[in-house]
Structure 1
């Protein structure tokens, strides 16, 4: 019996820009790698899931990158940064910071899927308070929240960990938090539960 080649699921989005949008060229490119009957799964985290042949993964990633599509692994990894729509402009809303933060953390392997979110102002369109790690730009600094959870009976808002961080401080602290989770989190332990078990103050002391 002929063996069917394994397929790999990729998470795809249009990168961090003004809103969660895809242009016509990006849509056509995605469609080129789909067969009749294939489906795209739209997630709540501004991503599309597409399955491609294992042997073609790297090639597909290159083709997607040529039209501005970003690809991320699916599973127990740091998700790409969920963002707001940057309604007042790139510099004012901190888009370069969001892009750099995403570049540094997205795709890292962790005990359980970790969802970071970013919003460019206190309106909070990126929903940072109900995700694992949330960043909110307030005036000229960045406030950092951790331990939020959007689903389930134990849903809760995140706790403010640090205020008015500079971009470099933000990158460093978020990276340290993820490293602590990687080193001390149990397999398939949700980040919100890890924060409760490990202790907010222990995390705070470890990153200062």
Structure 2
């Protein structure tokens, strides 16, 4: 690991798959860019934060992606999708839909960090009802929740905004919500506060 270069922090994970896992090759690749006394920060949203030389950012991200790591910006962006562990299989629990939703939204700039969660059944292991935006697969359709809050004395579950959505309807609705939040949210206004301020009519207009 080179020293002295200015560093930038990025988020990485193993992508959306059966469980939140990293293989040996991925771990070895990450370790190439760490000193012996450095640590990886594991977030509550299934991401690892690592600092890499800014002048080699694109090169290193390409190397990470070549071993199957997904890379995302850190800061006021839409987080990569938090998911359940897809215990019943890819098609049954909608993993292709989760992958496509993540591809469309992760990394978009927003007024404040936005957390989106997905779960493939009504057990809710991905905790969709405690996230800013949550998706729960129910049979062959998808229910969409907004405004969940996991922390604080005012913690509450999300509001069921729409139900029985088909995949394309789900993608479009989530994208619309994020666009409205990006355009009309105040600087550093959390989605929870934004949702309380604007209400459901403005999100689904």
TM-score band, normalised by shorter chain: over 0.9
TM-score with structure 2 setting the length: 0.97
Distance 1:59 1:153 in 2: 44
Q: C-alpha deviations, 1:80-129, integer Å up to 9, x for none?
A: 00000000000000000000000000000000000000000000000000
Match of 1:103 in 2: 103
Q: State the distance in 1 between where 2:152 and 2:112 align.
A: 16
Tell me the equivalent position of 2:113.
Answer: 113
Q: Which residue of 2 aligns with 1:45?
A: 45
Residues of 2 paired with 1:186 and 1:52: CA distance?
A: 31
Q: Does 1:88 align with 2:88?
A: yes
Give 2:150's aligned residue: 150
TM-score calculated relative to the size of structure 1: 0.96
CA distance in 1 between counterparts of 2:5 and 2:17 reads 35
* 2:30 pairs with 1:30: yes
User: Do 2:176 and 2:203's aligned partners in 1 also have CA atoms closer than 8 Å?
Assistant: no
1:75 is aligned to: 75
Residue in 1 that maps onto 2:122:
122
> C-alpha displacement at 1:36, in angstroms?
1.7
Taking only aligned residues, the RMSD between alpha carbons, in angstroms, comes to 0.7
Give every structure 1 segment of 4 or more consecutive aligned residues whose post-TM-superposition deviation is greater than 4 Å: none
Pairwise CA distance, 1:5:
3.1
Partner in structure 1 of residue 58 of structure 2: 58
The 2-side partners of 1:191 and 1:105 are apart by 15
In structure 2, how many angstroms separate the alpha carbons of the residues matched to 1:40 and 1:170? 34
Number of aligned residue pairs: 202
Structure 2: which 5+ runs fail to align?
none
**Matches of 1:139 and 1:36, distance apart in 2:** 48
Q: Which residue number in structure 2 is paired with residue 12 of structure 1?
A: 12
